[in-house]
Structure 1
Amino acid sequence: MTQKDNNSAADAPEYEVEIPSREQLLDAVEARLKPISFEELVEKFNLTDERQHIGMKRRLRAMERDGQLIYTKANAYGLPERMSLIKGRIIGHRDGFGFCRPDEGGSDLFIPHHQMYNVLHGDKVLVQQQGTDSKGRIEGRVVRVIEPRQGDIVGRYFVEHNIATVVPDDSRICQDILIPEEQSAGARHGQIVVVEVTKRPSRRSSPIGTVTKVLGEHMAPGMEIEIAIREHDIPNQWSPAVEKELARFGETVPPEAYEGRTDLRELPLITIDGDDSRDFDDAVCAQPQGDGWRLWVAIADVSYYVRPNTALDKDALERGNSVYFPNFVVPMLPEKLSNGLCSLNPDVDRLCMVAEMDISAKGKLTHSKFYPAVMKSHARLTYTKVAAILEGDPKLRKDYDHVMGNIEHLHGLFKILKKARQQRAAIEFETLETRFIFNAQRKIESIEPVRRNVAHTIIEECMIMANVSTARLIEAHEQAGALFRIHEPPAAERLSAFRSFLGELGITMTGGDDPSPHDYSEVLKQVAERPDAELIQTMLLRSMQQAVYSPDNAGHFGLALDEYAHFTSPIRRYPDLVLHRAIKALLKKQQGPSPALEGAWMYPDEQLDELGAHCSMTERRADDATRQVDEWLKCEYMRDHVGSEFTGVIAAVTNFGLFVRIDNMQIDGLVHISNLDNDYYQFDGARQLLIGENSRRVYRLGDKVRIRVKSVNLDERKIDLELLSAESPTGKDRMPASKRDKEKPVKEPSKKHKKNVTKARIKSKRKAKEAARKGRKPKAKNNS
C-alpha cells in the first residue's frame, strides 16, 4: 500500500509501505509530556518492516527541516513551541549582527555578532529568546538552521596571497566565501561572479563555494542589473517546456478564437502609454451617454493564451510580475506574447476582455458589464502626444483627426472623474520622478526630472474606474475566487511619528487616532505651495502601510475606495491574470461554455491566500531590485561630480548625521555628523533633528541646504556630502552662534571644563578617523 504525505504538495514523495502521516506523528509527540524517541514511535505505531523504519526516518527528517519537530541532544523528537523556539528568517546587517523575523509575525529578535557566524542572511532558523540586550532589544539564540537560504550569491572575486575569496555584493552577508583554486571557473581578480555555497559557515570556518558563472568586470555596462537580478532571486530564464509551448502560437489571432466574442473592431479604441513602452495591455474609448458617459476599457485577454497549470502559467506565477529596470525589463510573459499576440498594437486584431461602464454626470459608476471581445486599436498614442493634442498642437490634431473625438471625450470624462475623486478625498501625490539618460556606451549622461501630465491622469482615472467595477463584481459573488488590492489605514506607531513630524513644521492634521483619507488630503492642500512639499509627501507616504493582494476585501485607504482590484495589466501582473480567469469563470457559470471563455478558472480559498502572499512578495522583490539598481546608477553618476556643489533638502535625520536629497535628481547622500560644525550633537528622534550642545545650531527635516559631494563608494552605494550652508523651509537662515550669544549670555566655562572639552573633542576626532578607516559609522552623542 502507498501513502502520500498528507501535509505535502502534490509532488511529495510516496512510500512503498504504510507509515504514519505527519498529523499522526505530531499527535504522538504532543501526547507525551517529554520528547519521544524513534524507538518509542516505532513501538507506538507497531512498525515491524525495515522499510517502514526507513520511510518514517525520512518523514521525521522532513518534519525537522520544516520546523515541525526538533531532534534533541537526548536523541528524541520534541515540539518547538514547548521548547520556546521561534521559527523565522535571518535578516543580516552590514555591521555583522542580524535579526530573526518570526514567521508568525511579532517583533524581530536581535541576533548578536557571535550568533551570526554559522548562519547566512536568508536562512530559515529556529531561535530561542534570550532576554534583552543593553539597548532593550529582544535577543535571540540560533538553535538550528532548518532551511538554508536559497539562490546563489553574487560578489567580487579577489585573490590575495594565493587565497581566493568572493566578497558578497549584498552587505547583509558579512562572511567572505573561500573559493578553492579548481572551483574559480577562470575568474580574474576584481571580476563579478556568481557563487554557489558548497560548505556552510561555522564558528571556526568561513563558507566555501564554487564559482558557477563569471558575470564580467565590475564597471561593465549593465552589470548593476545582472547583480540585482541574481541578488534578489528574480527568475529570468524560461524553462524548456515554455519554449515548447510557445512554438504552438502563430503570429496572428487563431480563427477559432473569434467565436463567441463581441466584435469591437469599429469602436475607436486607442492606447496611450509612455514613449518607450512596448507592451500595450489597455485601450480606452469614451462616448457621451444621456447626461453621463459610457466608458470602454479593453484589456488584453492573456488568459486565453496562458492557461492554468501550463508551463507558461507556472513560469509567470514564479515571476509574479514584470520587473522594470532603466532600459531593460524582465518580463512576466515571453516576448512573443507580451510584445506580440497579447499586446494591443495598432491596426491588428487582438483578443481582449472588456469592462463596459456607465458613469453619471457626477462621476459615479451606475452600471458595468464584462465580456470577451475582439478589437483593433485605432491609434498608438503617447502621454506626451495626448497632452500636446489637448493643448491644441495643430499638426498632431491633424495627424490623429480620426480619433480626435475619442480623445476629447476621454478628456471630458476625466474632468468629472477627477472632480468625483476630489469629493471622496482620495490622497493625490505629485511626486517628482527621474529618468536616466544614457550615452552610446550605456553610461549615464544626465538625470532628468519627469513630471506627469494630463494624459497620465486621464488613463489613471479610466483604469481606476475599471478596477473598481471589477472589484464590485467579485464582491457580489462570494465564490468568485480572485484577489483584491487592499491598502489598510496607517498603523498607530507610524501615524504618531508623522503627526510629530508635522507638528515640528507647524502643520496640524485632523482625525485623531483614526484619520480618514480626507484628513491626509487636507494636509497635502496645506503644504502644496511650500518649498518642502515634496519632502512632506514623502513622509506622508512613509506613514502609510504597503498595499498588498488579498482574497479578503479591506478597501483601499489611499484611493478612498471600498472595493478595488487589479484588472488592467495581465501582461505584467499575475493578480490581474487571476482576476481575468475568475471573471471568465463567472461568465461561464451564467452563460454556459464558449470558446471565448477558454482559460476560465475558479481558485479555491486556500490557494488564494498563498497567491496573495506570493504576489505581494514578488512585487516587493521587484521594488527592492529596481531601487538597488537606481542607487547604483546614481552613485556611478555622482562619481563624476565629486567636488561639485548642489542644493538640496534634509530628507532624514539620524544619530549619525543628515541625509540630504539633491534637488531635481532624487539622489540621497549623507552628511556625516563628524562633518558638521565642531560641536557635540544631540539627536532628537521624536522631533527629527540634531542640535549642537554649545552652538545650539539645529538641523531638521525639511531644511534647505547647500552641499558639496565629498566622496562616492560605489560598492556600498553610498554618497558622502559636505554641508556648506543650511536654512529653514521658510527661507530664513538658521540663527548664527554669534547672534544667539548676544541674545542669551552664556556663562564663561572654567579652565578645567575647557581642558576636558578639548580632550573629548580630540578623542571624538580619533574615533571618527578610526571608524572611517574601518568603514563604520561613529555614533552621535545622545543625551536626550
Structure 2
Amino acid sequence: MKEKLLEIINNPKYQPLTVSELTALLNLGKNGQILIDELAKDKEVFYSKSKERLLNHQQAGIFKGKLSVAKDGYGFIKSEGFEIDFFVPKTKLNGALDKDIVLFTIHDYLNKSKNEKQEAHIIEVIERHLKYIIGEVVQKNKELLLASDETVLPLHFNKLEKVKEGQVVRCKIINYNNDYLEGEVVEVIGNSTDIGMDITIIARKYGFEAEFPQEVIDEVNNLSEDLTNEIKRREFIDRTIITIDGADAKDLDDAVSIRKLKNGNYELGVYIADVSYYVPKDSEIDKEALKRGTSVYLIDRVIPMLPKRISNNICSLNENENKLVIACIMEINNKGKIIDTVLKEAVIKTKHRMTYDSINEIIEGNEKAINKYNNIYNDVLLMQELSEILEKMRGIRGSVDFDIPESEVIVDEKGKPIEIRKRERKESEKFIESFMICANEATATMITNMKLPFIYRVHDEPSEDRLNTFVTVIKLFGYPIKQKIRKITPSQVQDLIGIIKEEDKFLNSLLLRMMSKAIYSRNNIGHFGLSSLIYTHFTSPIRRYPDLLVHRLIRKYLFTTDFSNLNSLEEYIDDVASQSSKQERAAMNCEYDVIDMKKAEYMEGFIGVKYSGVITSVTSFGMFIEVLGAIEGLVKLSEMRGYKYDDQKMSIVSVNGKGSYKIGDKLQVKVVSAIKKKGEINFEIVYNKNTKSARTTNKKRNYGGSRNERRKENHRYK
C-alpha cells in the first residue's frame, strides 16, 4: 500500500490531503496513520507546517539525491527527475560526505526553470555511504590523525593507545561532525612503508581483501581431490586438449581442442573447469565468492575470488593432470555458424600448457617452436583458420571491436614503476577470445531454448544523446556524417570505426565512452557490442561468479533434469546479477585507480620535462593530453587565460575567436605536477611561435587531473 500512497502523493495533479482523507481514499483504516508515519520517517513524504496535510517533494521544496564531493571540497547532487546536477558550495555541505544520500533545498528554486543551473543547500544526511575508512596515521600539530583520500575531513581517534605514526589502519566512523570525523581503529593493516601497501590501500578501499575468513579456509582444507567417484564422466582421450594463457597465469580455467570433421565442418571443444562440483551453493566458500564477485587483477598481484587451493590447484587445468570440466563441444561450419552444441561433464588431461607467446611463435613460423610443439602444429593452424572464419562472420553481423590497447605498468622488486607501455593484443589472444565467445553464445542459446530462468550478459544500445555527441566531434574531422542519429546498429558502429583513419584512432576511445556498460541480468536484451541476440558468461568460473552460477544451472537443468523451485531461483538470479555487476564495476575502478596511481608515481620523476602529446579528451574543466603513447595528464581550463569550453563543438575555444583546441590536436606540454596519492598528472602547454595564443596564468595554480574527474569506460565490455 506504500507504493499506492506514493503514486497518489507524487502525482503532478495531487493537491495536499489530510491523513484522514488519504486513509479514506485508499480504505486503509487504522493502518493509514502508521503507513504515512513510516513514509514521513523515510523522507518520502512531508507534513505541512500545520502538520495537517501531506506534501510531496515538490510541494515541500525538499528533494532527495546523491552527493559527489570534489577534491576541492565543493559538491554536486544528482536527483531523480532533474536533468541537471546541483552545485553545493563547500559551506553548504552540512557535514555530508561523498556518496551520501541527502535531503536538500534549491536556492532560489521558484525563480529558476527546472533545468537551469542551480545551487543546492543540504539540510540533512539520510544515508551515510562511508561507514569505515582506511588511511595512514599522520602527526599534525602534535596530534595523531588519519589521512585518507576517501574524505577531505580529518579523522580523530577515540583511543590513541592503539595507533602509531606511519601505520595504515581501518577505522569505524563513530561520529560525524561538520569539520571532522571521529573513529575507532578496528584493524591495523600494516605500515605505509611496506612494499605494495599503496596498492593494498586502494584494494581495501574497494572492499577487496587477499585473505579469506577462517571458515572458508577450513572448508577448502576439507576438499578432496579424489576423482574415483567421477569415473562415469566421459574422457576425451581422442582429443588433443591444450591451455593457452599468459605466461604468469596460474588459474587456468579453460582449455581447447579442435579437429576437422569428415563433412568439412570444424569441431571446437571448449573445456571449462568444473568449479561448481567443488563449491556448492550456500557453502562458506560460495558465500565469500558471491561477496567478492570477481577476481581482481592488479599490477603486482591477483586478489582471487576463490582461495588459491581451488583456483590455482584443484580446479586449474594444469598440464598432464586429470581435471573435472564441463565440456562444450560445438560443430561449426565454414561460414562460422554453430550447427550443433553438446554440453557434457568430463574428465580431461591437457597435453600442453601453452602461452600466448609460444602460440604466436608457431603461427609466425618459428622453426624452434614448431619443432618443440610438432604434435599440435596442425591443430594451431586449424585454430587460426577457424578464428579467421569466426572473425569474418562476426564482422558481417556487425560485432564491434574497438581494439584499444590497454596500459601496462612494469614495477621493480620494490613496487616502483619503471616503465609504462601499451599492451597490444596478440593473435593467439584474439582467437582464444573468439572461441570463448562461441562457447558463451552456444551455452546461452541452449538454455534459453529451454525457456528456463538464466543469467545473461547484456549490453544495451547507446543513447541518442551520446551518439550525437560523438557525431558532433567526428564531423569536426571532416568525416561524412550528414544527420543526427536517433538509433544505431552494431554494424553502423563498426562502420564508423572502419572509416576512422589511423592517425585519428583516438576517436575510437571517444566512441567507446559513448557506449553503455555491459551488465548481468535475468532479462535478456541481447548484447549490442557483440551483435549477439543471446549471450552469457560461461568460460571463467574460477574468476567470475556469474560463470559459476551458469555452471550450476547447466548441472541442474541438463545433468540432473531438476526443474524445481524456479520462482525462488529467479529471485536468486536477480540478486546474483545485481551483486556481480556491482562488484565488476568496483574491480574495474580499483584496477584503474591502481594504474593511475602508478602512472602518477612514475611521472613524479619527470617534473619539468617536456613531451609531445595529443589531445585525447576535452571537457568543461580542461583537456587531457596523452604523452609517451600511454600516459594522460590534464591541462586545466582555469589555467588557460582567454579560453572557454564550447560544449557544442566539444572544444576549448579562444574568446576572441583566434584559436581553439579539439580532440586530436598535437601540442607540446610540460609536466608541472604529479600526485601519486590522487593519481593526478598535470601539464601546462609549452608555447613557441607555432603554438596557438593561449597563455596559462600563474595565479593560484589549482591543477586537478584526477582519476575521479574522468573515469574511462571499461572497454572489456564483453
TM-score under structure 1 length normalisation: 0.79
Match of 2:664 in 1: 702
Are 1:232 and 2:179 matched, yes or no? no
Are 1:201 and 2:177 matched, yes or no? yes
Taking the aligned partners of 2:101 and 2:557, their CA distance within structure 1 comes to: 40
Mapping 1:280-359, distance limit 5 Å = 280-289=252-261, 290-359=263-332
1:164 to 135, 144, 150: 144
Taking the aligned partners of 2:400 and 2:3, their CA distance within structure 1 comes to: 48
Q: Shift of residue 178 of structure 1?
A: 2.5
Match of 1:95 in 2: 72
Q: Shift of residue 317 of structure 1?
A: 0.7
Taking the aligned partners of 2:621 and 2:677, their CA distance within structure 1 comes to: 20
Question: CA offsets per residue over residues 474-527 of structure 1, 9 Å max, x none?
Answer: 321222x22111111111111111000101111134883212122221222222
2:157 to 179, 187, 191: 179
Q: 1:165 to 1:736 in 2, by over 3 A?
A: closer
Q: What SS does structure 1 have at the residue aligned with 2:635?
A: strand
Taking the aligned partners of 1:107 and 1:484, their CA distance within structure 2 comes to: 33
Q: Shift of residue 267 of structure 1?
A: 1.9
Q: 1:600 to 1:392 in 2, by over 3 A?
A: farther
Match of 2:235 in 1: 263
Are 1:531 and 2:495 matched, yes or no? no
Q: Shift of residue 191 of structure 1?
A: 5.2
Taking the aligned partners of 2:272 and 2:429, their CA distance within structure 1 comes to: 17
Match of 2:686 in 1: 724
Match of 2:129 in 1: 149
Match of 2:446 in 1: 473
Q: Residue 516 of structure 1 aligns to which amino acid in structure 2?
A: T
Is the CA contact (8 Å cut-off) linking 1:658 and 1:671 kept in structure 2?
A: yes
Q: Shift of residue 108 of structure 1?
A: 5.1
Is the CA contact (8 Å cut-off) linking 2:94 and 2:123 kept in structure 1?
A: no
Match of 2:220 in 1: 246
1:117 to 78, 94, 105: 94
Is the CA contact (8 Å cut-off) linking 2:681 and 2:705 kept in structure 1?
A: no
Taking the aligned partners of 1:330 and 1:600, their CA distance within structure 2 comes to: 34
Q: Residue 697 of structure 1 aligns to which amino acid in structure 2?
A: G
Q: 1:161 to 1:241 in 2, by over 3 A?
A: same
Is the CA contact (8 Å cut-off) linking 2:360 and 2:428 kept in structure 1?
A: yes
Taking the aligned partners of 2:275 and 2:353, their CA distance within structure 1 comes to: 20
Q: Shift of residue 222 of structure 1?
A: 1.3
2:407 to 434, 437, 440: 434
Taking the aligned partners of 2:149 and 2:68, their CA distance within structure 1 comes to: 15
Match of 1:211 in 2: 185
Is the CA contact (8 Å cut-off) linking 1:183 and 1:211 kept in structure 2?
A: no
Q: What SS does structure 2 have at the residue aligned with 1:91?
A: strand
Match of 2:700 in 1: 770
Match of 1:744 in 2: none
Is the CA contact (8 Å cut-off) linking 2:327 and 2:346 kept in structure 1?
A: yes
Is the CA contact (8 Å cut-off) linking 1:109 and 1:138 kept in structure 2?
A: yes
Q: Shift of residue 446 of structure 1?
A: 1.3
Match of 1:586 in 2: 557
Taking the aligned partners of 1:220 and 1:563, their CA distance within structure 2 comes to: 47
State the percentage of identical aligned residues: 29
Mapping 1:134-145, distance limit 5 Å = 136-137=116-117, 140=120, 142-145=122-125
Question: CA offsets per residue over residues 139-191 of structure 1, 9 Å max, x none?
Answer: 55545433322542123433333333333212xx23222334x3362321x65
2:248 to 261, 276, 286: 276
Question: CA offsets per residue over residues 569-588 of structure 1, 9 Å max, x none?
Answer: 11111111111111112114
Decide which structure has the larger Cα Rg and report it. 1
Taking the aligned partners of 1:635 and 1:22, their CA distance within structure 2 comes to: 50
Q: Shift of residue 331 of structure 1?
A: 0.8
Which 10-residue stretch deviates more, 481-490 or 714-723? 714-723
Match of 1:494 in 2: 466
Q: Residue 769 of structure 1 aligns to which amino acid in structure 2?
A: K
- Unaligned stretches of 5+ residues in structure 2: 11-15, 21-27, 707-718
Are 1:455 and 2:385 matched, yes or no? no
2:644 to 672, 682, 688: 682
Match of 1:613 in 2: 578
TM-score under structure 2 length normalisation: 0.86
Q: 1:24 to 1:430 in 2, by over 3 A?
A: closer
Question: CA offsets per residue over residues 547-604 of structure 1, 9 Å max, x none?
Answer: 11111111111111111111111111111111111111211464x79xxxxx999863
Are 1:515 and 2:488 matched, yes or no? yes
Q: Residue 517 of structure 1 aligns to which amino acid in structure 2?
A: P
Q: Residue 596 of structure 2 aligns to which amino acid in structure 1?
A: E
Which 10-residue stretch deviates more, 569-578 or 79-88? 79-88
Match of 2:543 in 1: 572
Match of 1:9 in 2: none
Q: 1:78 to 1:327 in 2, by over 3 A?
A: farther
Is the CA contact (8 Å cut-off) linking 2:680 and 2:705 kept in structure 1?
A: no
Q: Shift of residue 449 of structure 1?
A: 2.5
Is the CA contact (8 Å cut-off) linking 2:97 and 2:130 kept in structure 1?
A: no
Taking the aligned partners of 2:348 and 2:634, their CA distance within structure 1 comes to: 53
Q: Residue 504 of structure 1 aligns to which amino acid in structure 2?
A: L
Match of 1:3 in 2: none
Match of 2:676 in 1: 714
Q: Shift of residue 69 of structure 1?
A: 7.7
Question: CA offsets per residue over residues 733-784 of structure 1, 9 Å max, x none?
Answer: 96877xxxxxxxxxxxxxxxxxxxxxxx9xx94xx523549999xxxxxxxx
Q: Shift of residue 657 of structure 1?
A: 3.3
Taking the aligned partners of 1:518 and 1:373, their CA distance within structure 2 comes to: 38
Is the CA contact (8 Å cut-off) linking 2:635 and 2:705 kept in structure 1?
A: no
Is the CA contact (8 Å cut-off) linking 1:648 and 1:662 kept in structure 2?
A: yes
Q: 1:71 to 1:158 in 2, by over 3 A?
A: farther
Taking the aligned partners of 1:774 and 1:521, their CA distance within structure 2 comes to: 34
Is the CA contact (8 Å cut-off) linking 2:64 and 2:102 kept in structure 1?
A: yes
1:647 to 588, 591, 612: 612
Match of 1:557 in 2: 528
Is the CA contact (8 Å cut-off) linking 1:471 and 1:563 kept in structure 2?
A: yes
Question: CA offsets per residue over residues 17-61 of structure 1, 9 Å max, x none?
Answer: xxxx9999999x99x94469xxxxxx9769xxxxxxxxx99x999
Q: 1:126 to 1:135 in 2, by over 3 A?
A: closer
Q: What SS does structure 2 have at the residue aligned with 1:552?
A: coil
Q: Shift of residue 418 of structure 1?
A: 1.4
Q: Shift of residue 310 of structure 1?
A: 1.4
Q: 1:85 to 1:378 in 2, by over 3 A?
A: farther
Is the CA contact (8 Å cut-off) linking 1:650 and 1:703 kept in structure 2?
A: yes
Q: Residue 686 of structure 1 aligns to which amino acid in structure 2?
A: Q
Is the CA contact (8 Å cut-off) linking 1:306 and 1:313 kept in structure 2?
A: yes
Are 1:485 and 2:461 matched, yes or no? no
Q: What SS does structure 2 have at the residue aligned with 1:770?
A: coil
Q: What SS does structure 1 have at the residue aligned with 2:678?
A: coil
Taking the aligned partners of 2:368 and 2:87, their CA distance within structure 1 comes to: 64
Which 10-residue stretch deviates more, 562-571 or 235-244? 235-244
Taking the aligned partners of 1:336 and 1:303, their CA distance within structure 2 comes to: 15
Taking the aligned partners of 2:42 and 2:370, their CA distance within structure 1 comes to: 63
Taking the aligned partners of 1:647 and 1:409, their CA distance within structure 2 comes to: 44
Is the CA contact (8 Å cut-off) linking 1:585 and 1:600 kept in structure 2?
A: no
Q: 1:398 to 1:73 in 2, by over 3 A?
A: farther
Taking the aligned partners of 2:500 and 2:2, their CA distance within structure 1 comes to: 59
Is the CA contact (8 Å cut-off) linking 1:650 and 1:702 kept in structure 2?
A: yes
Taking the aligned partners of 2:209 and 2:85, their CA distance within structure 1 comes to: 28
Is the CA contact (8 Å cut-off) linking 2:244 and 2:355 kept in structure 1?
A: yes
